Structure 1
């Protein structure tokens, strides 16, 4: 911890009481470094908090990649997304926004991926739909599931997604490092964001329902347990002993609100194991409920490698098509906007000042680089900021960046442990289906929560919201049932329009964006006043702790390069708040009213604290 000088002490006195209260309430704030053993334990806790969302993305996409029941391949995909998420977390916390924020797979990329893969089709899925679960693939001329020929089929599809993610993420890098994010957000309000995010969850209802319907009672048990743990027992703390600055202390651990998904899935998994041993679940593959048995894929742990190091191009050289890139751009834009809100919420809950302009720009740019790395490694998905872990910071009162960095290292190491990914690949389908029913519902609800900023008594807003949601569901349904209806005379154009119109989040978000910016309405009616406070309240809150967002090691050298003040991602970037910083540097005391005003402008992020906890 660095020492405050006299000027800094004067400035600190002017910081709002709310900001001071949050810092005082933290066990470890952003700048603190807990003892090494606590860093390991707390870092592993962050990993456990994120693991439910991390494994859900590859499990969800595996069937669309035509993996069928190649659980060894799925375990390798899970290991890859663990590895890439750890790498992206270390980059973000070290060179990006420099807040304790975990990076991981995102559902924003799921809808475009499914739309792209729909153009490819999957012979294994078609065969199962036609001949049932006991179909003999080799008799139909298809390679055996898990064979090298079958692996070539699904690896070819992942390479297409890799190329789309890499190219479209370049757009995010440019938006971030060029400082264009603030300009883009000027035209995007709640009525464009609500259908975009809500339709991510709504469009996935069939996937969740299909997996849950394989054994509804197991799925309902999983839903019931998640509900009990996350809602009814969220205020119940389990006695626990901790070691901190005051020595050994007895305190309550909010285990139910921290790990409701993991606990529920673990218990349901155990129930499936008991029902398997007692032969309550049918052993005949054609009977309903068979896939809930835990002995179906028990050979996965034997076939998977103990150690497998993911590497770029492990599935082959990525391929690029215009249709896939344009389709993936919708997911990139939605991920960027969601992350901006996460930055402010994370700063508030971790006891840090609101992130300045350069930190937000750098954070978006580094997320783009993280997505490019995810595409190069072949996780089948991109990376984004995890709201679940931000909510965990508010609960545990541990906002140390070092802890999250340790969590990133844990993800890196476990991503190389092949048996670990294989263990998650054996989770019974109805258990995953029950988890999907809850998580997809939460994604939908989080999107709808953005309506808190708009006037819902306005017929204008009701019209925009209703049309964008309904058409966002209708257009993809029509394209799916009329795959040859789009005929522009150009094969490339047909593919682009087919992918875009098959992506519900793009259709709904685009309609909401166009109507919200063309139909007359006051800024207050449209919800732009409060929304812009959330998304653009940047560096106007200058105080003594802004050095948190400086780049490590090289910052003193960057300060001596005057031209860097024109670089939107550098800490000495000139912005509206810099005039106050200039006065402080010249020995002039900063205006306390200006400081308080800046903080109050971003304090609206606190309203989203309940929304973040709802992710858990």
Structure 2
């Protein structure tokens, strides 16, 4: 793919910024469910195929190869976004979702959670000092804090992850600065220290992404169709992801 830490940081910051804005819009004006909007892992396969395309491997300059790759990804995502808009306006997904009964959604919700198991828990096991406090703090904020601190809006239920991540990040920075990992193994330092990846030093203090920040998007039919197939898979993930918090909210309202 090319590019150094600065280019990778811009991609990560753009993804986090858009995820945060989407989450705020969904929780305040949209479905108002306690769920985090983020990129789907279903897009990993078509994006990987774009990154490893032969036409980009011949570019010698890493920075230029990175820009060309991001432009191709942008173009495919634009076509995919238009595809989802058309499906929404024509009611195609609504007609499909009518046939999804609770019996069919139960395994869908289960597999959507189990599909993230190999990503979450192995990462937690690589750095228990940070991963375990993250889980504990998030559970405390979402499940126990609302019983002690009353808000007019369900802030803890909706934004539990957004509240817990900065707390744990500061805790990780404190452990790194205090020298806890100085004499640990290389694998532990890479997983736990906040200064090993080079992303923190390369990241700006304030970053607001702009449209087409990597240049004009490029379009290719094969890449666009592959991305649209991934978007269709992500629709089922979103449906399953919305079903679980909606059932949770329903059970909470029944207890009130």
* In structure 2, distance between residues paired with 1:161 and 1:194: 33
Q: What's the offset of the Cα at 1:159?
A: 4.0
Structure 2 residue runs of 5 or longer lacking an equivalent are 53-59
TM-score (norm 1): 0.32
Tell me which residue corresponds to 1:327.
229
Per-residue deviation, residues 293-346 of structure 1 (Å, max 9, x unmatched) = 2333677456637565512362552333255134224235336756xxxxxxxx
Tell me which residue corresponds to 2:13.
78
Tell me which residue corresponds to 1:272.
172
Per-residue deviation, residues 225-245 of structure 1 (Å, max 9, x unmatched) = 21222223331117xxxxxxx
* In structure 2, distance between residues paired with 1:256 and 1:88: 14
Give the secondary-structure state (helix, strand or coil) at the position aligned to 1:233.
Answer: helix
Tell me which residue corresponds to 1:458.
none
- In 2 relative to 1, CA 201–228 (structure 1 residues): closer, same or farther, beyond 3 Å? same
How do residues 135-150 of structure 1 correspond to structure 2 at under 5 angstroms?
149-150=61-62
Whether 2:101 is the aligned partner of 1:189: answer: yes
Q: Which has the larger radius of gyration?
A: 1
Tell me which residue corresponds to 1:214.
126
* In structure 2, distance between residues paired with 1:336 and 1:295: 34
Tell me which residue corresponds to 1:410.
none
Whether 2:43 is the aligned partner of 1:113: answer: yes
Between stretches 224-233 and 148-157, larger displacement belongs to 148-157
More helix by share: 2
How do residues 142-541 of structure 1 correspond to structure 2 at under 5 angstroms?
149-237=61-149, 256-257=156-157, 259-282=159-182, 286-296=186-196, 300-301=200-201, 304=204, 306=206, 309-312=209-212, 314-320=214-220, 321=222, 323-331=225-233, 333-334=235-236, 337=239, 443=241, 449=244
Whether 2:12 is the aligned partner of 1:100: answer: no
Per-residue deviation, residues 94-131 of structure 1 (Å, max 9, x unmatched) = xxxxx822799845x62321222454677xxxxxxxxx
Is the contact between residue 70 and residue 214 of structure 2 (CA under 8 Å) also seen in structure 1? no
- In 2 relative to 1, CA 327–156 (structure 1 residues): closer, same or farther, beyond 3 Å? farther
- In 2 relative to 1, CA 285–174 (structure 1 residues): closer, same or farther, beyond 3 Å? same
Is the contact between residue 66 and residue 154 of structure 1 (CA under 8 Å) also seen in structure 2? yes
Is the contact between residue 113 and residue 161 of structure 1 (CA under 8 Å) also seen in structure 2? no
Per-residue deviation, residues 155-192 of structure 1 (Å, max 9, x unmatched) = 55544443333223333322333344543334333344
Give the secondary-structure state (helix, strand or coil) at the position aligned to 2:188.
Answer: coil
TM-score (norm 2): 0.66
- In 2 relative to 1, CA 198–161 (structure 1 residues): closer, same or farther, beyond 3 Å? farther
* In structure 2, distance between residues paired with 1:201 and 1:299: 29
- In 2 relative to 1, CA 177–265 (structure 1 residues): closer, same or farther, beyond 3 Å? closer
* In structure 2, distance between residues paired with 1:265 and 1:227: 12
* In structure 1, distance between residues paired with 2:36 and 2:157: 21
Q: What's the offset of the Cα at 1:266?
A: 2.9
In the alignment of these two chains, the number of paired residues is 243
Structure 1 residue runs of 5 or longer lacking an equivalent are 1-64, 93-98, 123-147, 239-250, 339-442, 451-604
Give the secondary-structure state (helix, strand or coil) at the position aligned to 1:279.
Answer: coil
Is the contact between residue 164 and residue 325 of structure 1 (CA under 8 Å) also seen in structure 2? yes
Tell me which residue corresponds to 1:357.
none
Tell me which residue corresponds to 1:488.
none
Is the contact between residue 230 and residue 256 of structure 1 (CA under 8 Å) also seen in structure 2? yes
